[in-house]
Every structure is written in C-alpha cells, then in structure tokens.
Amino acid sequence: MSTPVEIATVPSTAFARLRERATTQRNVTIYVAILAAVPLAYAFDTAVGGAQGDFLLLMTLAVGVPSAYEGYWPAYDATWKAVAWILAACVVVTVEFTGLYLTGTDLLSLSPFVAGIVAFLVVDLGNLAWLSVMRRR
C-alpha cells in the first residue's frame, strides 16, 4: 500500500516533467507560431478576402515556420531569441505569401485557389531552399 507521501510526490513529479516538456524551446516556438498565425491569417482574409489562401497561409505559419527553425536554423541559447526569430519569420512569410497571392490573382488572373497553392509552394519551398543554402555556409 502506498503512503500519503508517495502519492503526493507522484503528481508533482509528473507535473514537473510535463511543465519541463511543455517549455522546451521547440515547443515554445510552436506555440508562438500558432499564436502568430491566427491573427495574421485573419488579417490576410480581412485585407485580401482570399478565403482560398487562408488555410494555406495558416499552415505555412503554424507548421512551416517552426519546422524551418528546427530543421534549418541553429538553435539559439536563449528561448526569447528563438521567439523573436519565429515572429520575424511569420511576418516575412505573411508578406511573401500575400504578395505572391495578389500577384497570382490580380496580375496573372489565376483563380484564388490556384494562386493560394502557388503562393504556398513558392513560399514554403523557397524559404526552405534559402535556409538550406544559408545552413551550408
């Protein structure tokens, strides 16, 4: 039978492990990217009215940006630097995506669906290629 002391330490230890896991730099960058992605995708929808591109922009920001940081950028020694990198990358990606989406719909007369896919592929793959080149230097 367990003593009250053992029962009390198990949850606190489990909570400490959960808190430690939740606050790793990798997970914090994912949280920040998701928190930045929602208002940026909403702003994109409000400014452009591009319902076809909303989801792809959201995926690029919430999944692509933290994946790019983890896979292609050297980890910072301080989490706040990683958070700043994620926020800056989210702004850059949003500008790139919006510019390509508008170019596709307005100048090239593509459908919003096709313009969204093209913007997604060019931004996501283009930025990964650029980060890969920068990593090799």
Q: What are phi and psi of 77, to 5 degrees?
A: -75, -20
| pTM for the whole structure | 0.84
Whether residue 29 has pLDDT greater than 60: yes
pLDDT, mean of residues 26-45: 95
In three-state form (DSSP H/G/I as H, E/B as E, the rest C), the secondary structure along the chain is CCCHHHHHHHHHHHHHHHHHHHCCHHHHHHHHHHHHHHHHHHHHHHHHCCHHHHHHHHHHHHHHHHHHHHHHCCCCCCHHHHHHHHHHHHHHHHHHHHHHHHHHHHHCCCCHHHHHHHHHHHHHHHHHHHHHHHHHC
Q: What is the pLDDT of residues 54-106, one digit of tens each?
A: 999 999 999 999 999 999 988 899 999 999 999 999 999 999 999 999 999 99
Burial 42-73 (b: 16+ CB within 10 A, else e): eebeeebebebbbebbbebbbebbbebbeebb
